[in-house]
Structure 1
């Protein structure tokens, strides 16, 4: 069946007429800034979490690195897994706008909670962030897709612009929160992590206010379903979120292995539901769901190794990287901004390359394969540095810096393309649920990243030897996955029935 025939089988909803800014619907820029402040909040705490856990709850003992990495990985995994339920709530209960507002409020509360120096309150705060982000994150991305028709050539470009909003917030947050923690309210020896978490909470409140004021420009896109305009459903969802927070708290404490089984079961259940909906809509939609699920599996591999950026790479930067640059020490936190600077710098170039290549533009699965291969190249650089560039127990600053840059190229090949892919391949009635599946696969990768980080640190903390061994395994896993996806690309493209 052709793309046109497939489009006729599922009528595309009519879109409002939007004024444009720089060639894109004006609401895109409102969503851009909403996501900017949410990512400021999310990435504001990213650099500090594992360092804080070791310092606050393990008395600074390096033996706590493994536990910190596992907690960090489980937290990220549950953030993304919660997106399944957030997508479902938006699709069937609240609508996208109210889901975003409710999630922003809950997430802000969690960010303020983790500033309390108590392990139980800290973990309960992480659980609150998880539930709030689950309502927010998949639905803000889905809203971007709803601004464009399925055949609108601006669609991928719009997602790339949106992705730059994500990365501008992520770039500024570590620099600003590190400055507050070490220069204003603390010292190099004793950073004020509490201030990091409070500043991120304020950023989340700004995201909430920005979207609340700007949502009128959406002209009804993402509004509550017909007959559900009252506040009763908001109350029900809010109560459900309060009941879900203890569940997330329990899952954080179950251990990464148990969580891996739980997330795996969720992924299988989600895949079955999406496949059933695809079958209901016909052969073309069924095949597209299958293609999407295959790509989700490779997405797990990418994020398992990419998310070392917030765990094992942080310990690597703190202990094994020579950060002395002519008498000035490059802050560990600032490595978290390198990825974002690279994305902002390189995103227009990558987008231009895709357009310039025209009909030779790589297919979606081959772009994903490139993402895996670039990620593998970053690990190859780490292998080289740890095996032949160690001086006095340290590797050169530029090597880790370039690892983040190379990973960023891989991310640009994969992540914005993935967001757009879901809005094209998911069943029309379950686009939010499909976006939840994308984030669940990312979450599974993040949980595995915590297990992998613990493996690298071992029982006594990271060493040159343990890092070299661990990152060598990562290199081979990524290269093999990337080559395999390239080989499977023709089969996956056939299943996509003309979707580019």
Structure 2
């Protein structure tokens, strides 16, 4: 969900508009609804890729428990940790994929090759074998690394330097991201539980196959539409087409490495791989900042402090695809419909129960609905010189995320039905909405901040640091979700204990960041 690589786990604010190049202008494009015609081709390419990525999100942890642990609650912890490690490696792969596109293949060929590899991985995970499933996840990671960081860059290259339509163009593209993420859980759930399976035995392989087909749609759409780009995103000069084969072979060789990292365990992955990579990147950035002088040193320090808080945000936000899934399945009363709403849901789903998968669509719906509202609030405050600083927006993101956990604390301590031992549906629904407000406060400004604060010669490393901080947060989210579920599966007590810790960690860090924001703003030397 989501330049910002919108959440490979998640769609966040509009991706950062990549510059078209110093002093260069794009070709003259035919216009469609006030924007370059290729924008709409990229919109649909991204729609189908996000459909594929988010189509499997709701099903992954359920499938791991059902297929490889015979439905036992003991499978929840390893499923949560596998999910977190998967998301973390998606972010790490994006760093290498961006480098390949910049230096070797060009953006177009990277996107096409990434789409082929992702589709192969999505079909692989439909096979009921644990090793093939994990190899399939590793394949998706490698493909996504080539695809995701480069499609957003292509959008930025459609607009000339200073083109006032750039922001609205990225907003349109961002809608493609969220529409794909919104529709995928709904449609794949209907396929898995109403057409090819049932509530008790969903046909998860249909979810994965449908997502693979969606990825093929993305590939075909871009293959035939790329001529509209008039050379944008192609490698410079007459690049040797054999490089595509070389990169493909390199990706195939990388899959076993990613498989090893994916299966080594979430905690070893965090302490022996992700954290050392992150610390090395931070050290390189700080050394370069010191070399460039006091001002750049201060701005680099400010950026690194924000990275640490970014880890905390995503550690708890990404419960959406892990522990919240088990919460909705075991502890949330989803039998909520009556009257006209019952008839509507019955017509769509065949029963009165709100499907687990549909919770995954709430974030995208909230983002689409609330993003214009929050943008208006920032503009209104800005005109009155009251718009919060970058660090205070981050602190608000952490606090809103914490308020979502406060609602869960209240529900799990005061609203549990004594006969069913379940909490009301509306509580988890609103958790997703409140978290989305926090995401809108934090995520859209992340990489924009990096381009302003990172040392000029190491902006790419700065973006790598942002991606890795997000990836570490995602991996920690799986570890934390495993703790919430415990050794035998989630209970009201284990959920209440875990989410209470989440509340205090988020609100405490948010308040701390709010209090030290004047110091961070001073280190930023006027950067807004």
- TM-score, normalization by structure 1: 0.91
Does the alignment pair 1:302 with 2:313?
yes
The answer for the alignment partner of 2:479 in structure 1 is 451
Aligned length: 489
User: Following TM superposition, by how much is the alpha carbon of 1:16 offset from its aligned partner in structure 2, in angstroms?
Assistant: 1.8
Conserved in 2, the CA contact under 8 Å of 1:142 and 1:431? no
Query: Do 1:159 and 1:420's aligned partners in 2 also have CA atoms closer than 8 Å?
Result: no
Q: Distance in 2 between matches of 1:425 and 1:214?
A: 36
Quote the Cα distance in structure 1 between the aligned partners of 2:160 and 2:513. Answer: 29
Quick check: 1:370 aligned with 2:396? yes
For the residues of structure 1 that align with 2:246 and 2:122, how far apart are their CA atoms?
23
Aligned to 1:3: none
2:302 is equivalent to residue 291 of structure 1: yes
User: Which residue does the alignment assign to 1:125?
Assistant: 136
Structure 2: gaps of 5 or more residues: 1-20, 339-351
Task: Check if 1:67 corresponds to 2:78.
Answer: yes
User: Is this contact kept in 2: 1:141–1:419, CA < 8 A?
Assistant: no
TM-superposed CA distance for 1:156, in Å, is 5.0
2:265 is the counterpart of 1:241? no
Deviations 1:72-91 (A, max 9, x none): 11111111111121122223
User: What aligned pairs does 1:9-408 form with structure 2 within 5 A after superposition?
Assistant: 12-16=22-26, 25-147=36-158, 157-226=168-237, 229-261=239-271, 262-275=273-286, 287-326=298-337, 328-358=352-382, 359-391=385-417, 392-408=420-436
**In structure 2, what is the Cα distance between the partners aligned to 1:56 and 1:241?**
28
RMSD: 2.5
Matches within 5 A, 1:409-448: 409-426=437-454, 433-448=461-476
Q: Using the TM superposition, name which of 188-197 and 148-157 deviates more.
A: 148-157
Q: Is the 8 A contact 1:18 1:26 kept in 2?
A: no
Q: Is the 8 A contact 2:25 2:161 kept in 1?
A: no
Distance 1:130 1:205 in 2: 16
How far is the alpha carbon of 1:345 from its aligned partner?
1.2
What is the Cα deviation at residue 124 of structure 1?
Answer: 0.3
Distance in 2 (CA, whole Å) between partners of 1:169 and 1:454 is: 28
Query: Deviation at 1:272?
Result: 3.6
Q: 1:258 to 1:152 in 2, by over 3 A?
A: farther
Tell me if the contact between 1:77 and 1:443 (Cα under 8 Å) persists in the aligned partners.
yes
- Output the CA distance in 1 between the equivalents of 2:512 and 2:145: 32
Structure 1 unaligned residues grouped into runs of 5+:
1-10
Structure 1 stretch displaced more, 375-384 or 23-32: 23-32
1:95, 1:287 → 2: CA distance?
A: 34
C-alpha separation between the residues in 2 aligned to 1:159 and 1:365? Answer: 23
Q: In 2 relative to 1, CA 427–29 (structure 1 residues): closer, same or farther, beyond 3 Å?
A: farther
Q: Is the 8 A contact 2:26 2:157 kept in 1?
A: no
The alpha carbon displacement at 1:134 in A equals 1.3
Superposition deviation, residue 201 in structure 1: 0.7
Given that residues 65 and 457 in structure 1 are in contact (C-alpha distance below 8 angstroms), is that contact kept between their aligned partners in structure 2? Answer: yes
Contact 2:118 2:215 in 1 (8 A): yes
Moved more, 358-367 or 182-191: 358-367
For the Cα contact (< 8 Å) 2:397–2:441, is it kept in 1? yes
Q: TM-score, normalised by structure 2?
A: 0.86
Structure 1 residues 452 and 18: alpha-carbon distance in aligned structure 2, compared to 1, 3 A threshold: farther
In structure 2, what is the equivalent of residue 6 of structure 1? none
What is the match of residue 12 of structure 2? none
TM-fit CA distance, 1:186: 1.2
- Distance (Å, rounded) in 2 between the aligned partners of 1:56 and 1:140: 34
Deviation at 1:440, TM superposition (A): 1.9
Q: What is the CA–CA distance in structure 1 between the aligned matches of 2:260 and 2:302, rounded to whole Å? A: 34
Distance across 2 between alignment mates of 1:51 and 1:309: 13
CA displacement 1:123-172 (0-9 Å, x = unmatched): 00000011111122222233344455776665555444433321111110
What is the CA–CA distance in structure 2 between the aligned matches of 1:31 and 1:363, rounded to whole Å?
Answer: 32
CA, structure 1 residues 276+165, in 2 after alignment: closer, same or farther (shift >3 Å)? Answer: farther
Q: What corresponds to 1:4 in structure 2? A: none
Give 2:503's match in structure 1, choosing from 447, 450, 475.
475
The alignment status of 1:490 with 2:514, answered yes or no, reads no
